[in-house]
């Protein structure tokens, strides 16, 4: 039986930051991070996934805001502009991906119903 993982806010934040650190350090590629997230998600009990999703999206949004603040601070001191997609566009992209995955998981686990 597979081990289930904690879905506390702190546990999810730690997972996200470890993945970010691995990418920054060059230890993982984007595709390896995506695979890691897929494996991690499968370890979360289906009943716990809505709260895990809520925490994950909150953490990602706050992380994006932090990166934006760092970037803006750098641009202010260097007097340069660096156009980037807004955090709402990135957040929407993540939400769309998670919704698609959730729908495909639901359809795979729901029984076929006769009409």
Lowest average pLDDT, out of 6-15, 19-28, 91-100, goes to 91-100
pLDDT given for residue 5 in this prediction: 83
* Euclidean distance between CA atoms 96 and 77, whole angstroms: 35
pLDDT tens-digit readout, 59-111: 999 998 898 888 888 888 988 776 555 556 666 677 777 766 666 666 555 55
**Residue 66, token pair as written in the block:** 């932090």
User: CA separation (Å) from 46 to 42, 70, 96?
Assistant: 8, 36, 19
pLDDT given for residue 87 in this prediction: 58
pLDDT given for residue 114 in this prediction: 44
The mean pLDDT of the chain is: 82
Domain regions of the chain by residue span: 9-109
pTM strictly above 0.75? no
pLDDT given for residue 62 in this prediction: 92
Residue 113 pLDDT level (bands cut at 50, 70, 90): very low
Q: Rounded to 5 degrees, what are φ and ψ at 60? A: -65, -40
Q: Is the dihedral of CA 74, 10, 21, 100 positive or negative?
A: negative
* Euclidean distance between CA atoms 15 and 18, whole angstroms: 5
pLDDT given for residue 84 in this prediction: 59
Task: Say which residue the tokens 């060059």 belong to.
Answer: 26
Q: Where are the alpha helices (DSSP H) in the chain?
A: 9-24, 30-43, 49-78, 87-109
DSSP 4: P
């Amino acid at each position: 039986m597979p081990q289930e993982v904690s879905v506390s806010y702190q546990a999810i934040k730690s997972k996200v930051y470890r993945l970010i650190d691995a990418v920054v350090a060059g230890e993982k590629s984007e595709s390896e991070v995506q695979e890691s997230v897929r494996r991690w998600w499968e370890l979360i009990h289906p009943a716990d996934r809505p709260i895990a999703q809520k925490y994950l999206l909150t953490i990602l949004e706050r992380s994006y805001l932090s990166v934006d603040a760092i970037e803006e601070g750098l641009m202010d001191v260097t007097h340069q502009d660096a156009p980037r997609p807004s955090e709402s566009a990135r957040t929407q992209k993540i939400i769309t991906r998670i919704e698609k995955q959730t729908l495909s998981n639901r359809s795979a686990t729901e029984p076929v119903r006769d009409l």
